[in-house]
Amino acid sequence: MAAIVQAAQAQRWQEVLGVRVAAVISNRSDAKGLKWAQDHDLPIHVVDHKAFGSRALFDQALQQCADAYAPDLVVLAGFMRILTPEFVGHYAGKLINIHPSLLPAFTGLNTHQRALDAGCQFAGATVHQVTPELDHGAILAQAAVPILPGESAETLAKRVLTQEHLIYPQAIARFFAP
């Protein structure tokens, strides 16, 4: 999230593309990004998923919060919850996420260890449109990272994250480019 906000400011998205980061919404009050966003004068909101009796009720509250900003694009960054088909459908074509693998390989969790266990020579990250099927939307951007001899899942994750911070803002800017 911070990389996206910093890119938006450095590349003057509001002037050049007519878009801005409107708010940061989290389902966790302890999310590190909330403090960072607040320190950078962004509105923040917490919609705690634990306060709702079902995934559907949580998604309705999350949607209501996001809709207050009339978003042209909803960007998931560090959001680790599966969204209902209704939520995804509401934002169809304007809901994106980043996944720490070279999709379509290694959907879901534990992607770095799974790439190592499979003997892959490369890992990476993918920015994709969100669809009701987990990690299967259209690919908007990818970055590959070579897997080094003796690499651990932790070191690979750190190296992939540096690429995520580059390609996610690039994919967003391309989404809005004339």
User: Within a 10 A sphere around the Cβ of 151, how many other Cβ atoms?
Assistant: 17
Judge whether 99 counts as a catalytic residue.
Answer: yes
- What are residue 108's phi and psi, to 5 degrees? 80, -150
* Active-site residue, from 40, 49, 90, 99: 99
Q: Are residues 147 and 116 in contact, defined by beta-carbon separation less than 8 angstroms?
A: yes
The tokens of 59 are what? Answer: 């998604």
Task: Compute the distance between CA of residue 101 and CA of residue 103 in angstroms, rounded to an integer.
Answer: 6
Looking at residue 134, what is its pLDDT? 92
The tokens of 143 are what? Answer: 């970055």
Structure letter (DSSP) for residue 29: T
Task: Compute the distance between CA of residue 67 and CA of residue 88 in angstroms, rounded to an integer.
Answer: 13
Task: Compute the distance between CA of residue 173 and CA of residue 128 in angstroms, rounded to an integer.
Answer: 14
Q: Are residues 63 and 81 in contact, defined by beta-carbon separation less than 8 angstroms?
A: no
pLDDT tens, residue by residue, 76-95:
998 989 999 999 999 999 99
The tokens of 46 are what? Answer: 């917490």
Looking at residue 178, what is its pLDDT? 86
How many helices (H) and strands (E) are present in the chain, helices listed first? 7, 6
Beta strands 44-46 and 139-146, pairing class? unpaired
User: Exposed, middle or buried by CB within 10 Å (0-12, 13-18, 19+), for 65?
Assistant: middle
Q: 0.85 cut: is pTM over it?
A: yes
Task: Compute the distance between CA of residue 61 and CA of residue 155 in angstroms, rounded to an integer.
Answer: 37
CATH numbers and ranges of domains, the chain: 2-176 (3.40.50.170)
pLDDT < 50 positions in the chain: none
Chain length of the chain: 178
